[in-house]
Amino acid sequence: MTMATTPAPSFKTIFIPLLALFSLCAAVLVVTDHYTRDKIAKNARDVELRSIDSVMPLPHDNDLHEDYMDINDPVYFSINPNVTVFRARQGKQPAGVVLMPVTATGYSGKILLAVGIACAVKNSGIGNGAIETGKCRLVVEADGSVGLYSGFTEMGQGLLTVITQFAVEVTGLPASVFRPQVNSRFELGSGQTTGSRGTLLAGRATIDAAAKLSPSFRPPGA
């Protein structure tokens, strides 16, 4: 009976092909990383920018990804104290910020939120390219009362009370003397009653008008 024995493969026979395969895989990974690294980073940046822009309602002309700051505050951001704040600007002026805090851990890991905070300016007597106008007229009526006419609308915000207080402050007369009202008796157009314009502009106009009321005026019974 004849038996044939197959010799065991030598160490070199196994190691050299494995080393060659490992070297080939490593080379493929290095080449792939070299040619795709920038593209992957750009794609990740574009995704992040889309998320940031989606919660930034105001237009901006700066690159949010280049204008940011990192905040480390474990009190307000307990889960991940390192929060990136992206700053939006329009004409180099601040327009808003977007925060990227991390919330509680979800099924697939930490949940990343994008929170946008924007600011705007309403021309409420501060210029901003618009000419603001407030008008008020004081009329001494036949019964001795003082009609207080304004070009703004009373719609429950307390405007008539406010302008009466202005008149009282300037003249020193009791509030019962004044009859604040809004009607078409006089043409006192002053624009829309929005953004607290009534308090600011009607109040200023009332101060100017009340200052012109003769100091010799005394209501009946005074």
pLDDT tens, residue by residue, 141-175: 888 899 999 888 888 888 899 999 999 999 999 99
Looking at residue 164, its pLDDT comes to 94
The answer to the question of residue 182 being in a domain is yes
The answer to the question of residue 35 being in a domain is no
CATH code, 144:
3.30.365.10
Radius of gyration of the CA atoms of the chain, in A: 37
Domain around 142: 136-211
Rounded mean pLDDT, 88-103: 73
Of 178 and 102, the structure prediction assigns the larger pLDDT to: 178
The answer to the question of residue 178 being in a domain is yes
Number of helices (H) and strands (E), helices first, in the chain? 4, 9
Burial (Cβ within 10 Å: 0-12, 13-18, ≥19) of residue 135? buried
Q: How many domains does the chain have?
A: 2
Average pLDDT over the chain reads: 75
Query: pTM for this one?
Result: 0.44
Report whether pLDDT(110) > 80.
no
The answer to the question of residue 46 being in a domain is no
The answer to the question of residue 146 being in a domain is yes
